[in-house]
Amino acid sequence: MSSTRKILGVAVLMLLASTVTWAQSLTGAGATFPNPMYSKWFNEYKKLHPSVEINYQSIGSGAGIAQVTEGTVDFGASDGPMNDMQLADFQSKRGSAVLHFPTVLGAAVPIYNIEGVTGDLKFTQAALAGVYLGTITKWNDPAIAKANPGVKLPNNDIVVVHRSDGSGTTYIWVDFLSKASPDWKSKVGVGTAVNWPVGLGGKGSEGVTGLVKQTPNSIGYVELIYAMQNNLSFGVVQNAAGEFVKASLASTTAAAAAASQNMPADFRVSITNAPGKGAYPIASFTWLLIPQKIADPAKKKVLTDFLSWMLNDGQGMTEALAYARLPKEVQQMEMKAIAKIQ
């Protein structure tokens, strides 16, 4: 290649590459579950404030926590609250506390593929825990059959499917199972990734869905949004009050409302197995992680402004994307908490 052509080529590229920007830009990273919602919000926010670009990337809750602690991003996002060890780590590395702001709610639902079964299956808490523990191995086990009179369940082995990648959805699922079954709590426990007693691991929700769709007599779990968007039939789960509740945006918000009675000041709370009527038991908040002390005043203004916008106008956009909005009580608590950012 002639050298003039080479140089020209490089020059053009450099020109292309160094587009000057006059925008204030912030970067955030973390949870994948709320990614579609956040991308909508940050896009809308830019339309209102053209000189502000908030770039959010969904690399995972754990990575989000790690990056905001390292200071490589301005804020983080996580499907599970940071634990005390992580809070202390943040304090020592960044010299300030980190604040949690719930943004939307999500839920995990059981999906299944059973020959001859088309309707909604009802699962008691014990049944779900037993299936995932591997103690309930056949579909026509009395624990499942009792809750589903009139449904012909086959005498086939249950093929269990779970997430292989660490995820907030898994966290919600096993958090619920731990509350539903002391056995699960002691044998397996809670985490974004656990030592599953049985089952195949699918990567991501599409991996789990693919496996369940292609494997007869299988059961798995995905986010409610995923099930809704892909028209997957999913089961009904028994909540703490004993009712069988089908997951929906309304029942998810109900779970949060029930839990908001005892909302701690730092918003780090698990709302699985929430008490109250109509509350779907496998639900959770997802949080934005904002450092309490922000050195750059311009960035601080952007973040505080965005938070109040998100808590008001932003909440109106959630339903269209199949996310459950925050209950009013939590919204109000958060508006007050914004003042904590210095």
What tokens does 248 get?
């929906």
Beta strands at 236-238 and 244-245: parallel, antiparallel or unpaired: antiparallel
The site string for another protein over 60-99 (x = CB under 8 A, - otherwise) reads xxxx-xx---xxxx---------x-xx-------------
Which residues inside 164-223 make contact with another protein, applying CB under 8 A? 164-167, 188-195, 199-207, 210-211, 214-215, 223
Residue 278 is a binding residue for another protein (CB under 8 A): no
What tokens does 4 get?
């003039």
User: How buried is 228 (Cβ within 10 angstroms: 0-12 exposed, 13-18 middle, 19+ buried)?
Assistant: middle
| Least CB distance to another protein at residue 169 (A) | 11
| Least CB distance to another protein at residue 327 (A) | 24
Q: Residues touching another protein: how many (CB under 8 A)?
A: 75
Helices (H), the chain: 3-17, 35-48, 61-70, 84-94, 125-133, 142-145, 168-180, 182-187, 204-214, 224-229, 249-259, 297-312, 328-337
Residue 137 is a binding residue for another protein (CB under 8 A): no
Residue 59 is a binding residue for another protein (CB under 8 A): yes
Closest CB to another protein among 7 and 335?
7
Distance (Å, whole) CA 285 – CA 315: 14
At residue 45, the 3 state secondary structure works out as: helix
Residue 56 is a binding residue for another protein (CB under 8 A): yes
Closest CB to another protein among 261 and 319?
319
Residue 104 Cα distances to 110, 137, 229, 325, angstroms: 21, 36, 17, 5
Closest CB to another protein among 219 and 333?
219
Distance (Å, whole) CA 46 – CA 162: 38
| Least CB distance to another protein at residue 270 (A) | 15
Closest CB to another protein among 201 and 275?
201
What's the DSSP call for residue 326? P
Residue 252 is a binding residue for another protein (CB under 8 A): no
Query: What's the number of CA atoms in the CB half-sphere (13 Å) around residue 336?
Result: 8
Closest CB to another protein among 185 and 246?
185
Which residues inside 11-40 make contact with another protein, applying CB under 8 A? 13, 16-21, 23, 25, 27, 29, 32, 35-36, 39-40
| Least CB distance to another protein at residue 329 (A) | 28
- Binding range to another protein, per CB under 8 A, among 10-18, 135-143, 251-259, 296-304: 10-18
Residue 164 Cα distances to 31, 177, 193, 206, 219, angstroms: 16, 17, 7, 12, 15
The site string for another protein over 321-340 (x = CB under 8 A, - otherwise) reads x-------------------
Residue 114 is a binding residue for another protein (CB under 8 A): no
| Least CB distance to another protein at residue 165 (A) | 4
